[in-house]
């Protein structure tokens, strides 16, 4: 039996100040960095001590020369006011060192200078010297608070150089030690293997953006508990070996999902599989600074982080996608997260993080599935992909978020569009209950009089597939611009979902066709199968072709 005590799971480190607003499903205000109120904390039991600061001139000289600044740990009786830097060669470290990974909201950061209280420096020194096995007696460490110039230093070029080193710093470290304030108050000796892992995967550290790359790139990853360090890889293997039948069919699968999302990243070598792994892993993580996301993505995918860092913050996600030589099918077809409103990139996710942008008006979370890592060629106009589906005219009119479409063979399909990531949509009060619905206007937005509903063509699919062969599931709505040399150029509008066609769907269509026996009809629908409001009935033509989706 697995014994997990509620109090041990919920107990968190005390907060110094009460937040001014409430937490939401997407943000814990207790853990969000508030620069105007941020204070570096002293270690537990310290009533106050001097701050130990690194020389900024020495630090930036090391970074400018392309070297890695490391910190020399100190003894318990050390009381010198200055940090000692030791420089190391990048990629071929001539010194063994430990990289520290922490969440700034725990108080181990410093917004003003490269310094920490003496008590914290002693604590970190004691902890890294106490690591077991190959990591025993290491005396050097790296910590972002001490080794990356803060914004207040006023040297952004050097700061960007230091951030650009982070991937190699964490990958080359002998070990990465995670310091999480909640875990530091928990004891391993009184917990089951499953409870230890559950605490690790539920702690604040495991919900933040930057800490993902620090854990994913580590050779050896340790989490500091009250009674010692815990090796995640060895601990996970032991938990699987000792698992009971009950735990194997309950908690172990959930733990495996979180573990492999974090620790199997380096097993992926192709950029498309790495992108899929990162996108899946970031879905439950957040950051205090939204424009940091493309920086972290660049670090993980080994892109030119300096180029992104020098880009205007609000344009960094655009710069990130433009730097990628390929796209992946999942980014376009298998999820309905928020997209960029930029020509040629309207298919590209605007964020991979947990965000209000990835939730419908009714609170429904985005569908996120990055399992299809099929690489797709792309150019300035969009992504090249073989698709099939159905195309039809809009009669230059806005149309609603629910439509029924008939192909040339008389086969019907019922589609519903997402309001979360739509381009060129507007909310209008059309439903009898007063709730807003969505209208899409491709002609007014993009000048497109013709649209298409598409799904990705399977490799073994033949050209000319019928509407009925399109599977129940997710597709996309696009506005067609032009057709040249066998390629249909179109604009990504929104994602959509094909629902099953049943008797009530046919009854609804028949109702319209009785009053509008043309090739399309548009009007208010009666209540039918819990559907009400404005719908569209259209006649279209099946299509299978090469598309350029922009």
pLDDT at 437 over 50: yes
Give the pLDDT score at 430.
47
User: Which residue's entry shows tokens 């192709």?
Assistant: 270
Q: Which of 280, 273, 331, 332 is nearest to 301 (CA)?
A: 273
- Find the range with the poorest average confidence among 10-19, 271-280, 350-359, 401-410: 10-19
Buried/exposed 17-46: b ≥16 CB within 10 Å, e otherwise: eeeeeeeeeebeeebeeeeeeeebbbbeee
Give the pLDDT score at 224.
97
Q: What is the pLDDT of residues 375-427, one digit of tens each?
A: 888 888 999 988 888 888 876 667 777 777 777 777 777 777 776 666 655 55
CB–CB of 66/90 below 8 Å? yes
Q: What integer is the mean pLDDT of 89-106?
A: 88
Question: How many CB atoms within 10 Å of residue 547?
Answer: 27
Q: Which of 376, 377, 329, 363 is nearest to 349 (CA)?
A: 329
Residue 312 confidence class, pLDDT cut points 50, 70, 90: very high
Higher pLDDT, 248 or 116: 116
What is the token pair recorded at 242?
Answer: 């000792």
Q: Half-sphere exposure of 520 toward its Cβ, with a 13 Å CA cutoff?
A: 18
- Find the range with the poorest average confidence among 158-172, 178-192, 255-269, 410-424: 410-424
Residue 505 confidence class, pLDDT cut points 50, 70, 90: low
- How do the domains of the chain map onto residue ranges? 33-242, 382-549
Q: Which of 407, 385, 386, 481 is nearest to 442 (CA)?
A: 481
Give the pLDDT score at 247.
85
- Find the range with the poorest average confidence among 52-56, 294-298, 443-447, 464-468: 464-468
End-to-end CA distance of the chain: give it in Å, rounded: 53
Cβ neighbours for 294, distance < 8 A, ≥ 6 positions apart: 308, 316, 317, 319, 320
CB–CB of 226/187 below 8 Å? yes
Give the pLDDT score at 499.
73
Q: Is the pTM of this model over 0.85?
A: no
Alpha helices in 373-478 (DSSP H): 442-446
E strands in 363-436: 375-379, 382-393, 399-400, 402-406, 412-417, 425-428
Give the pLDDT score at 538.
65
pLDDT at 55 over 50: yes
CB–CB of 457/386 below 8 Å? yes
Give the pLDDT score at 239.
92
E strands in 54-174: 68-72, 85-88, 98-102, 115-117, 140-142
Give the pLDDT score at 406.
73
- Find the range with the poorest average confidence among 31-45, 266-280, 299-313, 407-421: 407-421
Higher pLDDT, 432 or 241: 241
User: Which residue's entry shows tokens 């970190």?
Assistant: 124
Residue 330 confidence class, pLDDT cut points 50, 70, 90: confident
pLDDT at 94 over 90: no
Give the pLDDT score at 297.
94
The Cα 165–Cα 91 span in angstroms is 10
User: For residue 549, how far is the Cα from the chain centroid?
Assistant: 23
Mark residue 410 as left, alpha or beta (left: phi above 0; alpha: psi -120 to 50; beta: remaining). Answer: left
Q: What is the pLDDT of residues 192-236, one digit of tens each?
A: 999 999 999 999 999 999 999 999 999 999 999 999 999 999 999
CB–CB of 445/397 below 8 Å? no
Q: What integer is the mean pLDDT of 88-94?
A: 81
- Find the range with the poorest average confidence among 8-17, 90-99, 129-138, 412-421: 8-17
- Stated as kind and residue range, the H or E segment containing 224 is strand 221-225
pLDDT at 436 over 50: no
Strand 437-440: give its sheet, edge to edge: 399-400, 437-440, 425-428
pLDDT at 284 over 80: yes
What is the token pair recorded at 375?
Answer: 């690489």
Q: What integer is the mean pLDDT of 70-93?
A: 88
Q: What integer is the mean pLDDT of 53-71?
A: 96
Give the pLDDT score at 539.
64
Q: What is the pLDDT of residues 114-146, one digit of tens each?
A: 999 999 999 999 999 999 988 888 899 999 999
CB–CB of 179/141 below 8 Å? no
- Find the range with the poorest average confidence among 96-105, 305-314, 333-342, 457-466: 457-466
Residue 511 DSSP class: H
Higher pLDDT, 511 or 221: 221
pLDDT at 434 over 60: no
Give the pLDDT score at 523.
41
DSSP letter string, 149-207? --GGG--HHHHHHHHHTHHHHHHHSSEEEEE-TTGGG--STTS-HHHHHHHHHHSGGGG
pLDDT at 188 over 80: yes
Q: Which of 462, 433, 445, 440 is nearest to 522 (CA)?
A: 440
Three-state SS at 108: coil
Sign of the alpha-carbon dihedral angle for 179, 183, 189, 194:
negative
Q: What is the pLDDT of residues 441-497, one digit of tens each?
A: 777 777 788 888 888 765 544 444 555 556 556 788 888 989 898 899 998 888 888
Three-state SS at 247: helix
Give the pLDDT score at 16.
47
- Stated as kind and residue range, the H or E segment containing 479 is strand 473-484
Give the pLDDT score at 122.
95
pLDDT at 183 over 90: yes
The Cα 392–Cα 480 span in angstroms is 10
Q: What is the pLDDT of residues 21-51, one digit of tens each?
A: 667 666 666 666 666 678 899 998 898 899 9
Give the pLDDT score at 531.
39
The Cα 297–Cα 286 span in angstroms is 13
**Average pLDDT, rounded, for the chain:** 81
The Cα 53–Cα 44 span in angstroms is 20
Give the pLDDT score at 474.
76
What is the token pair recorded at 496?
Answer: 């959509």
What is the token pair recorded at 111?
Answer: 């917004």
pLDDT at 101 over 90: yes
CB–CB of 496/334 below 8 Å? no
pLDDT at 191 over 80: yes
What is the token pair recorded at 427?
Answer: 């909310």
Give the pLDDT score at 421.
62
């Amino acid at each position: 039996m697995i014994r997990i005590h509620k109090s041990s799971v919920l107990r968190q480190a005390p907060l110094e100040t009460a937040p001014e607003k409430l937490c939401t499903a997407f943000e814990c205000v207790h853990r969000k960095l508030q620069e105007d109120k941020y204070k570096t904390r002293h270690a537990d039991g310290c009533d106050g001590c001097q701050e130990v600061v690194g020389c900024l001139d020495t630090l930036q000289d090391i970074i400018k020369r392309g070297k890695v600044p490391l910190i020399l740990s100190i003894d318990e009786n050390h009381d010198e006011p200055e940090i000692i830097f030791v420089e190391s060669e990048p990629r071929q470290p001539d010194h063994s060192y430990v990289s520290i990974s922490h969440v700034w909201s725990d108080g181990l950061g410093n917004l003003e200078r490269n310094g920490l209280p003496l008590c914290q420096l002693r604590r970190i020194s004691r902890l890294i010297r106490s690591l077991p096995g190959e990591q025993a007696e290491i005396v050097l460490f790296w910590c972002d608070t001490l080794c990356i110039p803060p914004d207040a230093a006023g040297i952004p070029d050097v700061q960007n150089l230091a951030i650009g080193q982070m991937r190699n710093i964490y990958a080359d470290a002998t070990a990465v030690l995670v310091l999480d304030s909640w875990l530091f108050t928990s004891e391993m000796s009184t917990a089951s293997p499953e409870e230890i892992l559950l605490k690790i995967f539920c702690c604040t550290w495991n919900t933040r953006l930057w800490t993902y790359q620090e854990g994913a790139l580590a050779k050896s990853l340790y989490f500091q508990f009250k009674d010692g360090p815990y090796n995640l890889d060895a601990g996970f293997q032991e938990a699987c070996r000792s698992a009971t039948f009950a735990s194997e069919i309950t908690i172990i699968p959930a733990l495996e999902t979180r573990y492999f999302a974090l620790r199997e990243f380096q097993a992926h070598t192709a950029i498309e599989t790495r992108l899929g792994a990162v996108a899946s892993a970031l879905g439950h993580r957040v950051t205090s600074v939204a424009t940091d996301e493309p920086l972290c993505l660049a670090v993980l995918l080994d892109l030119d982080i300096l180029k992104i860092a020098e880009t205007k913050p609000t344009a960094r996600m655009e710069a990130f996608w433009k730097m990628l030589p390929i796209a992946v099918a999942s980014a376009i077809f298998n999820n309905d997260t928020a997209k960029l409103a930029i020509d040629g990139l309207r298919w590209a996710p605007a964020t991979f993080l947990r965000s209000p942008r990835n939730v419908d008006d009714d609170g429904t979370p985005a569908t996120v599935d990055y399992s299809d890592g099929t690489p797709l060629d792309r150019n300035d106009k969009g992504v090249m992909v073989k698709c099939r589906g159905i195309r039809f005219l809009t009669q230059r009119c806005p149309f609603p978020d629910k439509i029924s479409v008939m192909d040339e063979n008389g086969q019907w399909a019922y589609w519903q569009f997402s309001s979360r990531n739509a381009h060129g949509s507007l909310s209008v009060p059309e439903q009898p209950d007063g709730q807003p619905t969505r209208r899409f206007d491709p002609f007014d937005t993009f000048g497109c009089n013709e649209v298409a509903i598409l799904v990705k063509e399977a490799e073994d699919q033949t050209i000319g597939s019928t509407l009925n062969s399109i599977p129940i599931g997710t597709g996309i709505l696009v506005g067609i611009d032009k057709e040249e040399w066998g390629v249909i150029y179109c604009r990504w509008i929104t994602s959509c979902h094909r629902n099953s066609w049943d008797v009530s769907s046919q009854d609804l269509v028949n109702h319209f066709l009785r009053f509008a026996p043309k090739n399309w009809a548009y009007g208010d629908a009666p209540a039918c199968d819990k559907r009400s409001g404005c719908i569209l009935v259209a006649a279209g033509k099946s299509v299978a072709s090469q598309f350029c989706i922009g």
